[in-house]
């Protein structure tokens, strides 16, 4: 599908006009610091912006640079990360800081292919960081951007693949100001969801998130909260603190140990 120049101009005017009237403001949009933008994009993976806003400021206050973060203990990072969930991202940010300092002298590269080599950084995060930190005109899609294109160019269609959307993202890209353009798309997508429902459900990539209450994900978060707060404890005590069967907690501890988030020495478990 090709849109043509007239359709592209009209679409750009609509999106940018919406942004001028109703654009959202977030602290990570007020900086071009690659470190701050990298932290924000890692936090925003699978976490709502409303939950990220407070933690973003707290995290940067505690770890204001690649060097400070690289020199911290993982337990300190997890302590600040509490409440965001998906704690592997915290380890990913921490490990990335060590790589940036040791390999690149504290300067984050601007090439998406290089950024994808960092822990927990996929194609979207790499391109978003390159765009928002360095102004690179990358082509990418996330949930709100996807919503806009589904709503405008695939009305009523089910099972739309990103491979169909990405050429339109590239064709409509407003290259004069790619940062503002992507922020505008995200804001319009959020507004469409709020006003008309989530068009993203028509994407072939849509996956409904499972219940959090009673899930292994909930137990993982509870286990890490206890360990960060106590500095470590036995598996039996951990199971009592979390309020779940020892077998369940044993399985969670084994998984967290494989991921490098905890260390187990005999009965005792702690965050490194």
| Distances, alpha carbon 208 to alpha carbons 55, 88, 187, 202, 255, in Å | 25, 21, 22, 12, 23
With a CB cutoff of 8 Å and minimum separation 6, the contacts of 2 are 171
The 10s digit of each residue's pLDDT in 69-120 is: 999 999 999 999 988 888 889 999 999 999 999 999 999 999 999 999 999 9
- Assigned domain for 209 exists: no
Catalytic machinery residues: 41
Examine the pLDDT at 20 and tell me if it is beyond 90: yes
Angle between helices 88-104 and 34-44 (to 10 degrees): 160
The closest alpha carbon to 11, from 193, 131, 147, 152, belongs to 152
Q: pLDDT at position 203, please?
A: 76
The 10s digit of each residue's pLDDT in 168-194 is: 999 999 999 999 999 999 999 999 988
Check whether residue 39 and residue 107 sit in a common domain.
yes
The span from the CA of 236 to the CA of 35, in Å, is 40
Name the β-bridge partners of 268. 234, 265
Q: Where does a domain end: 163, 179, 202? A: 202
Do residues 226 and 233 make contact, with C-beta atoms less than 8 angstroms apart?
A: yes
Q: pLDDT at position 70, please?
A: 97
- Assigned domain for 211 exists: no
The 10s digit of each residue's pLDDT in 200-249 is: 677 767 666 656 665 777 888 788 888 887 778 878 878 887 788 888 88
Check whether residue 168 and residue 249 sit in a common domain.
no
Q: Write the CATH number for 107.
A: 1.10.340.30
């Amino acid at each position: 599908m090709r849109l043509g120049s007239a359709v592209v101009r009209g679409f750009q005017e609509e999106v940018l006009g919406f942004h001028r009237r109703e654009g959202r403001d977030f602290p990570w949009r007020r900086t071009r610091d690659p470190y701050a933008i990298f932290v924000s994009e890692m936090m925003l993976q699978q976490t709502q912006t409303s939950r990220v806003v407070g933690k973003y400021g707290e995290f940067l206050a505690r770890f204001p640079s690649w060097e400070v973060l690289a020199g911290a203990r993982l337990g300190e990072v997890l302590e600040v990360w509490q409440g965001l969930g998906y704690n592997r991202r915290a380890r990913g940010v921490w490990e990335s800081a060590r790589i940036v300092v040791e390999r690149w002298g504290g300067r984050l590269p601007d090439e998406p292919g290089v950024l994808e080599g960092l822990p927990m950084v996929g194609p979207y995060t790499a391109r978003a960081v390159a765009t928002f930190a360095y102004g690179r005109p990358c082509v990418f899609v996330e949930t709100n951007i996807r919503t806009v294109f589904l709503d405008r160019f695939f009305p009523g269609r089910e099972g739309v693949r990103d491979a169909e959307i990405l050429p339109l993202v590239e064709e409509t890209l407003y290259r004069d100001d790619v940062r503002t353009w992507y922020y505008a798309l995200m804001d319009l997508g959020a507004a469409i969801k709020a006003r008309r429902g989530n068009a993203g459900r028509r994407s072939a990539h849509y996956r409904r998130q499972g219940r959090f209450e009673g899930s292994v994900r909930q137990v993982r978060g509870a286990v890490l909260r206890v360990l960060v707060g106590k500095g470590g404890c036995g598996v039996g005590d951990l199971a009592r603190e979390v309020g779940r069967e020892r077998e369940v907690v044993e399985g969670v501890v084994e998984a967290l140990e494989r991921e490098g988030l905890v260390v187990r020495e005999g009965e005792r478990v702690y965050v490194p």
